[in-house]
Amino acid sequence: MSEEALPFKEKYYPGLEEYLDFYEESVRDIEGFWDSMARGLEWYKTWDKVLDDSNPPFYRWFTGAETNINLNALDRWIGTPVFDKVAYYWEGEPGDRRTISYRELYREVNRLAWSLREEVGIKPGDTVTIYLPMIPELPTTMLAVTRLGGIHSVVFSGFSSRALADRIVDAKAKVLVTADGFYRRGRVVRLKDSADEAIALAREQGVEVEKVVVVKRAGVEVSWSEGRDVWYHDLLEKAPSRAYVRPEPRKATDVLFILYTSGTTGRPKGIMHSVGGYMTYVYNVFQWNWDPAPGDVYWCAADIGWITGHTYIVYGPLMNGVTSVMYEGAPDYPDPGRIWSIVDRYDVTTFYTSPTLLRLLRKYGDQWVEKHSLETLRLLGTVGEPINPEVWKWYYEKIGKRKAPIVDTWWQTETGAAMISPAPGISLVPLKPGSATLPLPGIVADVLDYTGDPAEPGKKGLIVIKKPWPGMLMGIWGDPERYVRTYWSTFSRPEEGIWIYYPADYAVRDEDGYFWLLGRADEVLNVAGHRLGTIELEDAILTHPAVSEAAVVGAPDPVKGQVPVAAVVLREGYEPSPELEEDIKRRVRELIGPIAVPARILFVKKLPKTRSGKIMRRILIALLEGRPIGDTSTLEDPTAVEEVKKAVEEFKRLAKK
Ligand code: WTA
């Protein structure tokens, strides 16, 4: 083990050997393993076959089986202590609060489903687009739609009307569920206005939204289309107070939901997840990740508009009878202590979020953390990006007080739930800051070099998944050819019957077999023939005490091919200066070598990011290469681009001299 490994073995959990025993057993007979894992769930009818692999890569799980995810998320809790347990502690940004038990959630889902069937006319197989903020009506609507056998397509409420329209059109959705507005940084975002615009844009593309269900959240005036628009609360009123809708039996191989994600082209991909496979995978992985205990209060501080929220705020916790926290607003509003005050208010035991949020909160300074006790936290998690060891250590020491293991979960929209991550619910392996550790049970992962051979330990390559797993995507909505091309064409050898899933992420496996995820494979730099990961450079820069955030990209260079350029956001109390620039460069030289030293540090106040918090390096690259910046519909704050643009122009002017 490397010196950095942190063994929790003595204190909390058994360790590596126990985990490996379980893992080896799981992959010896994958079908047998998932067969037994699926039996922990409720089905109307069990499967004839665990895995149908007769038409790869269109794998189908649990063929012949019938179920409905509501059976496991809600109905199974009737008559058990969970039914009267809190499902969600919800907090609005202005400070309003709601507590919703499993019983209350069950009742509202049934009433909503009743009205969606009787009043709105939703039938099994219909697609429903949901454009809602982080309010309890969002999980309620998702469950009501799947209860009826419909397919939901949730669109993040931060998306523009244009992005919403594209997704409505692609899914051919006839029904849209939205809200009048919601709170963000103390202001009301008028969501219904965007929804109306999107409906008009969709009409231009030939798709007519026939019904719009509107949740009253912000109490603002909205324009109304009689006959088309209906209030959510009026729909509930129409249903009998004890309405019961039988969860529609669905084939395990039917589509449970679509979720759009971006690919290498501008056109979003509708990732399809299956009824039976997704349900089985999420139910089990949730337990492995969070080792849920009856008294836990679990908070996944993400947005339900992304896969993390689907899996880890809605379906994962509900299928495990867990109490969750849900928060509507900005994480640093009204002050940078908001997140930690929520942790203390609800005695959160399990906290799961993104490195982006941690970097933001770390930047504000530790005084905001120190005001809060955080003593109930026993397990921490991260997702979405590689976590820089510096930030890992801050999380571990300042937030978890050195007693909460960090569950770094590597996965994608396409994989349904975590794939590479510690599994304290089984046995916690020693942790290494910055490594997502080992594959979860049933997952056969490897790192390959460019030729498709396994990369040597310590050598960078591309992560691949070599066996199907139940949480895998079924395909891309309406585009089977793109599914095969994007995920299965890089390393597969169909003539030999070998199919390999390609996630397009760089990774290294170390001597202990641990996986270190190094970012997307489309973000590599080639500096004078040396391959450099942007993440490696960013890690180095982030070790500098003045630096809060960093994005490194390659700028074209006539001699070296590319040179690294870093856009850097400073921590509070630091000012840009030539001395500081030199100091940061020195740091990179020390940690990686002269080859990696950025040609320039561009000091900015904000990095261009997506609304989900991912740094949009491709915008920086386009500016540096003098190309159009392309589609910016996912950009969180357009002013960030202007600032970067100015800095890039100045850099180019100086470079010419
Ligand atoms: C990245 C989010 C390193 C990765 C669940 C992947 C990570 C992409 C991690 C998927 C992690 C996610 N460490 N990188 N723990 N988790 N990623 O579809 O590049 O929004 O391919 O799913 O995020 O992003 P997506």
Q: Does 426 share its domain with 536? A: no
Q: Could you tell me if the CB of 515 is within 6 A of ligand 1?
A: no
Angle between helices 275-290 and 30-38 (to 10 degrees): 90
Q: Does 288 share its domain with 367? A: yes
For a substitution probing ligand 1, which of 354, 383, 462 has the most ligand atoms within 8 Å of its CB? 383
How far is the centre of ligand 1, averaged over its atoms, from the C-alpha of 153 (Å)? 20
Pick the range with the lowest mean pLDDT from 79-83, 227-231, 471-475, 604-608.
604-608
Q: Could you tell me if the CB of 72 is within 6 A of ligand 1?
A: no
Q: Which atom belonging to ligand 1 lies closest to the Cα atom of 306?
A: 20
In a domain, 240, yes or no: yes
Mean pLDDT of 312-332: 97
In a domain, 80, yes or no: no
Q: Could you tell me if the CB of 307 is within 6 A of ligand 1?
A: yes
Higher pLDDT, 159 or 311: 311
Mean pLDDT of 625-650: 86
The residue contributing the CA closest to ligand 1 atom 11 is 410
In a domain, 95, yes or no: no
How far is the centre of ligand 1, averaged over its atoms, from the C-alpha of 409 (Å)? 8
Mean pLDDT of 641-655: 87
Confidence at 386, pLDDT banded by 50, 70, 90: confident
The torsion angle over the Cα atoms of residues 501, 468, 517 and 296, rounded to 10 degrees, is 150
- Does residue 475 carry a pLDDT above 90? yes
Higher pLDDT, 635 or 13: 635
Q: Could you tell me if the CB of 410 is within 6 A of ligand 1?
A: yes
Last residue in a domain, options 488, 519, 550: 519
Task: Say if CB 214 and CB 180 are below 8 A apart.
Answer: yes
In a domain, 258, yes or no: no
Per-residue confidence (pLDDT) for residue 628, from 0 to 100: 87
- Does residue 537 carry a pLDDT above 80? yes
Mean pLDDT of 350-364: 91
Q: Does 465 share its domain with 611? A: no
- Does residue 285 carry a pLDDT above 70? yes
Q: Does 629 share its domain with 494? A: no
Q: Does 342 share its domain with 462? A: yes
Q: Could you tell me if the CB of 462 is within 6 A of ligand 1?
A: no
Mean pLDDT of 416-445: 96
How far is the centre of ligand 1, averaged over its atoms, from the C-alpha of 234 (Å)? 40
- Does residue 8 carry a pLDDT above 70? no
Higher pLDDT, 162 or 112: 112
Q: Could you tell me if the CB of 520 is within 6 A of ligand 1?
A: yes
In a domain, 251, yes or no: no
Task: Say if CB 176 and CB 199 are below 8 A apart.
Answer: yes
Higher pLDDT, 562 or 489: 489
In a domain, 79, yes or no: no
Question: What's the one-letter identity of residue 137?
Answer: E
- Does residue 13 carry a pLDDT above 60? no
Q: Does 316 share its domain with 452? A: yes
The residue contributing the CA closest to ligand 1 atom 6 is 412
Cβ neighbours of residue 495 closer than 8 Å, sequence gap 6 or more: none
How far is the centre of ligand 1, averaged over its atoms, from the C-alpha of 412 (Å)? 5
For a substitution probing ligand 1, which of 385, 395, 465 has the most ligand atoms within 8 Å of its CB? 385
Q: How many CB atoms lie within 10 A of CB 440?
A: 27
Per-residue confidence (pLDDT) for residue 54, from 0 to 100: 97
How far is the centre of ligand 1, averaged over its atoms, from the C-alpha of 610 (Å)? 14
- Nearest CA among 589, 574, 558, 101 for reference residue 566: 589
- Does residue 474 carry a pLDDT above 80? yes
The residue contributing the CA closest to ligand 1 atom 25 is 412
> What CATH number has the domain bearing residue 590?
3.30.300.30
Q: Could you tell me if the CB of 408 is within 6 A of ligand 1?
A: yes
Pairing of strands 127-131, 151-154: parallel
Q: Could you tell me if the CB of 384 is within 6 A of ligand 1?
A: yes
Q: Does 567 share its domain with 493? A: no
Q: Could you tell me if the CB of 523 is within 6 A of ligand 1?
A: no
Q: How many folded domains does the chain comprise?
A: 3
Per-residue confidence (pLDDT) for residue 261, from 0 to 100: 84
How far is the centre of ligand 1, averaged over its atoms, from the C-alpha of 449 (Å)? 20
Tell me the residue ranges of DSSP E strands in 388-490.
406-409, 445-448, 461-465, 475-476
- Does residue 356 carry a pLDDT above 50? yes
Structural domain of residue 385, as residue ranges? 2-73+273-440+447-519
Q: Does 191 share its domain with 64? A: no
Q: Which atom belonging to ligand 1 lies closest to the Cα atom of 612?
A: 20
CA distances from 561 to 252, 400, 531 (A): 51, 43, 11
CA distances from 113 to 51, 178, 236, 327, 557 (A): 31, 16, 9, 24, 59
Q: Could you tell me if the CB of 436 is within 6 A of ligand 1?
A: yes
Per-residue confidence (pLDDT) for residue 638, from 0 to 100: 82
The residue contributing the CA closest to ligand 1 atom 13 is 386
Last residue in a domain, options 499, 519, 539: 519
> What CATH number has the domain bearing residue 328?
3.40.50.12780
Q: Does 435 share its domain with 547? A: no
In a domain, 426, yes or no: yes
pLDDT in tens, 41-57: 999 999 999 999 999 99
Q: Which atom belonging to ligand 1 lies closest to the Cα atom of 408?
A: 15
Q: Could you tell me if the CB of 385 is within 6 A of ligand 1?
A: yes
- Does residue 3 carry a pLDDT above 50? no
Last residue in a domain, options 519, 548, 567: 519
Residue that has been written with the tokens 């965007």 in this structure: 194
Q: Could you tell me if the CB of 268 is within 6 A of ligand 1?
A: no
Question: Per DSSP, what are the bridge partners of residue 129?
Answer: 153, 176
Per-residue confidence (pLDDT) for residue 266, from 0 to 100: 44
Q: Could you tell me if the CB of 617 is within 6 A of ligand 1?
A: no
Q: Which atom belonging to ligand 1 lies closest to the Cα atom of 308?
A: 5
How far is the centre of ligand 1, averaged over its atoms, from the C-alpha of 354 (Å)? 10
User: How many percent of the chain have pLDDT more than 90?
Assistant: 78
- Does residue 262 carry a pLDDT above 70? no
Mean pLDDT of 590-616: 86
- Nearest CA among 14, 4, 203, 243 for reference residue 111: 243
The residue contributing the CA closest to ligand 1 atom 5 is 412
Q: Could you tell me if the CB of 503 is within 6 A of ligand 1?
A: yes
> What CATH number has the domain bearing residue 219?
3.40.50.980
The torsion angle over the Cα atoms of residues 471, 280, 411 and 338, rounded to 10 degrees, is 140
3 state SS of 552: strand
pLDDT in tens, 560-592: 767 899 999 999 999 999 999 999 999 988 777
- Does residue 462 carry a pLDDT above 80? yes
In a domain, 84, yes or no: no
Q: Which atom belonging to ligand 1 lies closest to the Cα atom of 413?
A: 18
Cβ-in-10-Å burial (0-12, 13-18, 19+) of 450 comes to exposed
Per-residue confidence (pLDDT) for residue 495, from 0 to 100: 94
Q: Which atom belonging to ligand 1 lies closest to the Cα atom of 421?
A: 15
Q: Could you tell me if the CB of 135 is within 6 A of ligand 1?
A: no
Q: Does 507 share its domain with 549? A: no
For a substitution probing ligand 1, which of 358, 413, 505 has the most ligand atoms within 8 Å of its CB? 505
Q: Could you tell me if the CB of 505 is within 6 A of ligand 1?
A: yes
The residue contributing the CA closest to ligand 1 atom 7 is 385
Per-residue confidence (pLDDT) for residue 351, from 0 to 100: 98
Mean pLDDT of 314-335: 97
- Nearest CA among 373, 336, 430, 326 for reference residue 3: 430
- Does residue 76 carry a pLDDT above 70? yes
Q: Does 529 share its domain with 515? A: no
Confidence at 9, pLDDT banded by 50, 70, 90: very low
How far is the centre of ligand 1, averaged over its atoms, from the C-alpha of 212 (Å)? 33
Per-residue confidence (pLDDT) for residue 11, from 0 to 100: 44
The residue contributing the CA closest to ligand 1 atom 15 is 410
Confidence at 532, pLDDT banded by 50, 70, 90: low
Q: Does 232 share its domain with 321? A: no
